[in-house]
Amino acid sequence: MKHLSILAALIAPVAALADPNPADWDVVLADAKGETVYWHAWGGSTTTNDFLAWVGSRVAEDYGVTLEHVKLTSTADAVTRVLFEKEAGENDDGAVDMIWINGANFAAMKEADLLFGPYAEQLPNWTVVDVDGKTVQTDFTVPTDGYESPWAMAQVVFVHDTADMPEKVGSMQALLEWAQANPGRFSYPQPPDFLGITFLKQVLVDILPDPSVLAAEATDENYADVTAPLWDYLDALTPNLWREGKAYPATGTAMFPLIADDELGLSISFSPGAASTAIANFELPDTVRTFVLDKGTIGNASFVTIPYNSGSKAGAMVVANFLMSPEAQARAQDPAILGYGTVLDMDAITADERVVFDALELGVATLSPAELGTVQAEPHPSWATRLADDWAGRYGVAE
Amino acid sequence: MKPRRLLHVLPAVTLLVMLGPVIAGLYGTVLPAFGHLPAAGLIGPTITPFTDLFDWAGLPRAVMLSLGVGMGATVIALTIVALLTAGWSGTRAFRFLERLLSPLLSVPHAAAAFGLAFLVTPSGWIARGLSPAITGWDRPPDLLIVQDPWGITMMVGLIVKEVPFLLLITLAALGQADTQRSAAVAQALGYGRLTGWLKTVFPRVYAQIRLPVYVVLAYSMSVVDVAVILGPNTPPSLSVYIVRLMLDPDIAMRLQGAAAALLQLGLVIAALIAWRLGEHVVGAFGRRWIATGARGKIDPIVEVSALVAGSAAAFAVLAGIIVLGVWSFAGFWSFPDFLPDQFMLRNWMRFGPGTLAALGETALIAIFVTIAALALTIGCLEAEYRHGLRLTQRGMFLLYLPLLVPQTAFLPGLQTLMLNIGLDVGRLPVMFTHLVFVLPYVFLSLADPFRAWDARMGTIAAALRASPDRVLWRVRMPMLLRPVLTAMAVGLSVSVGQYLATLLIGGGRVATLTTEAVALASGGDRRAIGVYGLMQTGAALIPFTLALIVPAIVWRNRKGLRHG
Amino acid sequence: MDKGLILANVAISKGSTPLLSVSTHVAPGDVLSIMGPSGVGKSTLLAFITGTLAPDFTATGAIELDGADITNAPAHQRRVGILFQDDLLFPHLSVGENLAFGLRPGGSRGERQAKIADALTEVGLEGFADRDPATLSGGQKARVALMRMLLSDPCALLLDEPFSRLDTALRAQVRALVFARAKARALPVLMVTHDAEDAAAADGEIITLAPIT
């Protein structure tokens, strides 16, 4: 055995030796200086793009890290790239240094051993993260195990223009009734868009008597039965959707102009503060407000992850750590900037840091943490995959 | 290598640069289409990718979209151009329209598509202009205009961009055929202006513009950026579906994507064959029509319709650019207000810095690619002049080949191939890929003026003991300054407008104005789209403006170079 | 060695069709006129002599200039000057720059400018150096074209229908000027024309080419 371990140490990939150790933060900082980090992140939201650019300027200033935002139309693109690089033997300096990732893609990458880590829980700012109060250690029920670090909290909210829809609705059933009474005034992004699938899951979670079945992997046995009420629901909803469901908005933000133009009276968002931000940017009228369902809505954390073959792991960790800093978190929560929920524990940060958070005006359309109510758990990612495929077969190929 | 020898091999190098990536890309498509993708540990051959593809419920519709939109856009654009030229060439209205449409040629497809979308959606500028006074709408009607399942808006978006292209090509062809006298003779025989032109001139002109028409057909069938912006999504057109499959994290999807790419290639080939057969049918009917001796009673109606259609195309692009501009400066702007509540620089302050970075990348790529294309083109033309190495008719076909093979058929293959052999994606490969598309246009743009140059100038210069190089640089190039700059402007605008090549071969790392603008399409932020669309248009238009202004300034004291 | 221009058994054909054959000697200061109907290949013969024969023609025989065989020399090293019916002044250069283009390299700036000024004076165009050639009259352009060619110091002069674009009054004047300058420099001149008056004025040998049947 001893011989084997020596042998293993000798032939261990050079990359493993060169990988920075997150526990040795000073070395990480030294390594990071001068590195360029290609952060692959969805680029469809201009407010997010602006925030990422700001992060870039800050990490350049403080740590000498150059951050390049590679604007994706689909996160899957970055995953594919890493997968291909692995197959092609590019193990040391891949194109992707960091990915803004969601549950399904994270699960896929983790399973395929494409991630660097664990690193997240050794980052200096991990100590101020609200580990107990927020779902930062599981992603779509999959344990993160330190392979991704959180940087924002998201929760489903419904965005309504009070000029058209004065009262909130408390359940998905009530939402269906509203849509039937107001045809053409509601839509959701077309799956497989992230938010579109979230809408499907939200319906399912809300209309199932017992949604706990969703916490486990979907099986061939239970999938059809569990989801049958969802398809009934959508069959009833679709003819009453915007454009009678023959076209869908591409993304969540694409629905804002539709509300501004009075085409939609109701839509869905995964960012409790986005509506306020959009009002500040003249993208939404100031009559817009948000609400959540009586039983609560699905919530999760946004994570970043570092591919195993990044050539700038130290730089990526510095960026990931900066994202969890009170400075970045406060800026992200500012509805004039981004309006994302923080991942930090307000009791763990210093009083001075807390002042900044307390001073933030949440914005007219943003619910307070209390109003946001219960956060419902994300179903296991296997549900999302099947729902997306099924949806495309039923509604994505209109005849 | 001696310069003399270099000139001899240059035509071959040029063909290699232009066709190499196309052939490599097709090769890279065929293998995975049959399940062979060693990089992913998949060994073929198998037909599973095709069976997977044919299992997709959206396939029939996607195929119909590709065929219908491609054929429809080409037929309608060609008809408009033919009738417009037939009815109006030589008139003041025509010259005005020509002047209006020429710069519109350089407007990138994506920008024109965004502009059109901003005009015609139920909440677009047209509806705003008519509401509520005429329509009675105080909120946008729930009409499926943009992204309609039949792709009609997408087809219109292609038509408004192809009309300027075909019109300019037709005008160039008119210059080479003795058309004016034929038309005059026909009119003297009592034929209406339009009928006379169609019967005597059109057959000759069509023979000359046939290849560009094929290019329009192949392009319209496989376009991606316009389809992303204006096309349907339930299901999308075949090309959009291919791109989606190529970007899927599931490798098996990539195989299916390659199979779909081959299907797309087959569709385009089939459509080209069908078009060729259609030419014979139309030709036969045409001859019958000529034999009837009909003089063209309804000419005036058709002429006016053609003028209206041509003007509408110009209007759609122009007004589209204006509405992009309005959005880029807009504060809150709700329906049915014709103008925003307030105009502000805020959007430009927000997105300006981002566009500048993208503009830098765009310019860097476009300038390098255009200079390379220009060098190869001048080299080829000079080799032809000095050594008689001239492309045959078949050679001309080769020049058009990169424009006839659908991008979605070979670019995904090229990307897969590069990943397979471990080549890094990024700016340099993007430049090489752009060259494939830029080179034919630069060549086609410069070849005619280059060849039309009075060769006796060269004889005189040689008799004055000037070496061939001195003749080229001191006499020919200065005299051809304007066409050279125009060819450069064409090259720059083609490079600026490239979407798929930049997206796939750049691996997402190369962010140009066009990729950024199309990426914004999914976000739907109209102010950002306005800023990017306007920057994109400017990046393509400014070189054309310079190509007009620079020669006028440089040769302001040289009357002999003012025209042409 | 033989001064002048010698065409030794020159035969030109297009593809396999023979076009013309000619054998002659033009002595320095002499003018040889070549006449014949259009399409007989007069201009083709000149192209062969200047070294700019199009690739679809083939030629045999030899061209000697002042004793040197220039049959296969590159066009710009033959020292054969040519004038066409059009002035073909370079439109992007001023009158002076056109002349400078022809003037052999060497000499100081001042010397070169003086030579150009002298050349302009020689043909009555003093002070025209900065003019745009497009603003000149037909006769003025013809004179500039002539001087540009002469400044390049050729050993022979070819004329391709050189006066046919000029009106009658101007024509005699320019023709006299060209012949006088060529004679003054003792250049062998070969003129292609279909105008009998030109040939008569040349006062030299006349060859009439007839189509080979």
Q: What are the pLDDT digits (tens) for A259-304?
A: 998 899 999 998 888 899 889 888 899 999 999 999 999 988 999 9
Q: Do B459 and C102 touch (CB under 8 A)?
A: no
Q: Which of residues 111-130 of A touch B (CB under 8 A)?
A: none
Q: Determine the Cα angle at C1 with ends C82 and C199, to 5°.
A: 35
| A38, A108, A254 ranked by CB distance to B524: nearest | A254
CA dihedral of residues C175, C177, C178, C180 (deg, nearest 10): 120
Q: Are C49 and C80 in contact (CB under 8 A)?
A: yes
In the 8-state DSSP scheme, what is residue A122? G
pLDDT for the residue B254? 84
Kindly report, residue by residue over B126-156, the tens digit of the pLDDT: 999 998 888 888 889 988 889 898 999 999 9
Task: Please compute the mean of the pLDDT values over residues B347-353 and round it to a whole number.
Answer: 88
Amino acid present at A145: D
Kindly report, residue by residue over C8-34, the tens digit of the pLDDT: 999 999 888 888 889 999 999 999 999
pLDDT at B527 over 80: yes
The reply to whether A244 touches chain B by the CB within 8 Å rule is yes
Q: Are residues A72 and A89 in the same domain?
A: yes
Distance CA B378, CA A98 (A): 45
Show the domain range for A28: 11-152+302-362
Distance CA B376, CA B383 (A): 10
> What are the DSSP calls for B279-302, one per residue?
HHHHHHHHHHHHHHT---TTHHHH
The stretches in chain A having pLDDT less than 70 are 1-18, 398-399
The reply to whether B338 touches chain A by the CB within 8 Å rule is no
Which two tokens mark B199? 């019967």
User: Residues in chain C whose beta carbon is closer than 8 A to a beta carbon of chain B?
Assistant: 47, 50-52, 54-55, 74-82, 84, 86, 88-92, 94, 101-102, 104, 132-135, 148-149, 152, 154, 158
Task: Please compute the mean of the pLDDT values over residues B23-29 and round it to a whole number.
Answer: 92
Contacts across the A-B interface (CB distance below 8 Å): 172
Q: Are residues A171 and A146 in the same domain?
A: no
pLDDT for the residue B41? 74
Q: Are A103 and A300 in contact (CB under 8 A)?
A: yes
pLDDT for the residue A319? 96
* DSSP-assigned beta bridge partners for residue C192: C34, C160
pLDDT at B450 over 80: yes
Q: Are residues A163 and A108 in the same domain?
A: no
Q: Are B98 and B314 in contact (CB under 8 A)?
A: no
Task: Please compute the mean of the pLDDT values over residues B87-98 and round it to a whole number.
Answer: 87
CB proximity list for B135: less than 8 A, separation 6 or greater: B127, B141
pLDDT for the residue B249? 66
Which two tokens mark B164? 């300027």
The reply to whether A295 touches chain B by the CB within 8 Å rule is no
Which two tokens mark B469? 């190089």
Amino acid present at C63: I
Q: Can you tell me whether residue A159 is helix, strand or coil?
A: strand
Q: How confident is the model at residue B563 (pLDDT cuts 50, 70, 90)?
A: low
H helical segments located in B34-177: 48-55, 59-88, 92-104, 109-120, 125-130, 152-176
CATH code of C5-208, in short, is 3.40.50.300
Q: Do A70 and B420 touch (CB under 8 A)?
A: no
pLDDT for the residue A4? 43
pLDDT at B91 over 90: no
The reply to whether B418 touches chain A by the CB within 8 Å rule is no
CB contacts, 8 Å: A53 with chain B: 353-354
How remote is the C-alpha of B448 from its chain's centroid?
A: 20
Q: What angle do the packed helices B513-523 and B526-554 form, to 10 degrees?
A: 160
Q: How many CA atoms lie within 13 A of A395 on its CB side?
A: 28
Q: Do C104 and B465 touch (CB under 8 A)?
A: yes
Q: How confident is the model at residue B4 (pLDDT cuts 50, 70, 90)?
A: low
Distance CA C173, CA A238 (A): 93
In the 8-state DSSP scheme, what is residue A337? T
Domain contains A2 = no
Assign residue A344 the CATH number of its domain.
Answer: 3.40.190.10
Q: Which of residues 261-320 of B touch A (CB under 8 A)?
A: none
B399 φ/ψ sector (left φ>0, alpha ψ -120 to 50, else beta)? alpha
pLDDT at B10 over 70: yes
pLDDT for the residue C212? 66
Of the candidates B252, B309, B246, the residue with the CA atom closest to the CA atom of residue B80: B309
Distance CA B250, CA B252 (A): 5
pLDDT for the residue B513? 93
- How many residues can be counted in chain A? 399
Q: Are C165 and C196 in contact (CB under 8 A)?
A: no
The domain tally of chain A equals: 2
pLDDT for the residue A271? 87
Instruction: State the ipTM, two decimals.
Output: 0.93
Amino acid present at A100: W
pLDDT for the residue B1? 43
Q: Do B463 and C152 touch (CB under 8 A)?
A: yes
Task: Please compute the mean of the pLDDT values over residues B161-186 and round it to a whole number.
Answer: 84
Distance CA B539, CA A362 (A): 40
Please report, rounded to a whole number, the percentage of residues in chain A having pLDDT higher than 90. Answer: 55
| C133, C135, C152 ranked by CB distance to B464: nearest | C152
Q: Which of B193-197, B486-490, C146-150 has the lowest mean pLDDT?
A: B193-197
Domain contains A5 = no
Query: What ranges make up the beta strands (E) of chain A?
Result: 36-42, 66-72, 98-101, 138-139, 142-143, 148-155, 157-161, 266-269, 288-291, 297-305, 375-376
Task: Please compute the mean of the pLDDT values over residues C69-85 and round it to a whole number.
Answer: 92
pLDDT for the residue B273? 96
Which two tokens mark C44? 């083709």
Kindly report, residue by residue over B197-208, the tens digit of the pLDDT: 888 889 989 998
Query: What ranges make up the beta strands (E) of C17-153?
Result: 17-26, 31-35, 57-65, 68-69, 80-83
Distance CA A240, CA A235 (A): 10
Q: Are residues A245 and A389 in the same domain?
A: yes
Domain contains A367 = no
Domain contains A187 = yes
CB proximity list for B300: less than 8 A, separation 6 or greater: B192
For chain C, list the contacting chains (3+ Cβ pairs, <8 Å). Answer: B
Phi then psi dihedrals of residue A136, to 5 deg: -100, 0
Of the candidates B148, B165, B191, the residue with the CA atom closest to the CA atom of residue B310: B165
Q: Are residues A102 and A182 in the same domain?
A: no
- Peptide linkage before B235 cis (omega within 30 of 0): yes
* DSSP-assigned beta bridge partners for residue B37: B42
CATH superfamily of B1-31+346-555: MetI-like (1.10.3720.10)
CB proximity list for A180: less than 8 A, separation 6 or greater: A236, A237, A240
CATH code of B67-271+297-328, in short, is 1.10.3720.10
pLDDT at B391 over 70: no
Q: Which of residues 318-357 of A touch B (CB under 8 A)?
A: none
Average pLDDT over all residues of chain B: 89
Q: Are A285 and A163 in contact (CB under 8 A)?
A: yes
**Helix (H), strand (E) at residue C189:** strand C189-192
Among A80, A86, A97, the residue to mutate for chain B (most B Cβ within 10 A): A80
Q: CA of B321: how far to CAs of A80, B159, B389, B530, in Å?
A: 36, 16, 44, 9
Phi then psi dihedrals of residue B500, to 5 deg: -60, -45
CA distance A269 to chain B (A): 13
**Helix (H), strand (E) at residue A277:** helix A274-280
pLDDT for the residue B352? 87
Q: Can you tell me whether residue C206 is helix, strand or coil?
A: strand
Q: Which of A342-351, B346-355, B362-371 has the highest mean pLDDT?
A: B362-371
Relative to beta strand A98-101, strand A36-42 is parallel
**Where are the CATH 1.10.3720.10 domain residues in chain B?**
1-31+346-555, 67-271+297-328
Rg over CA atoms, chain A: 22
pLDDT for the residue A18? 62
Average pLDDT over all residues of chain A: 88
CA distance A379 to chain B (A): 21
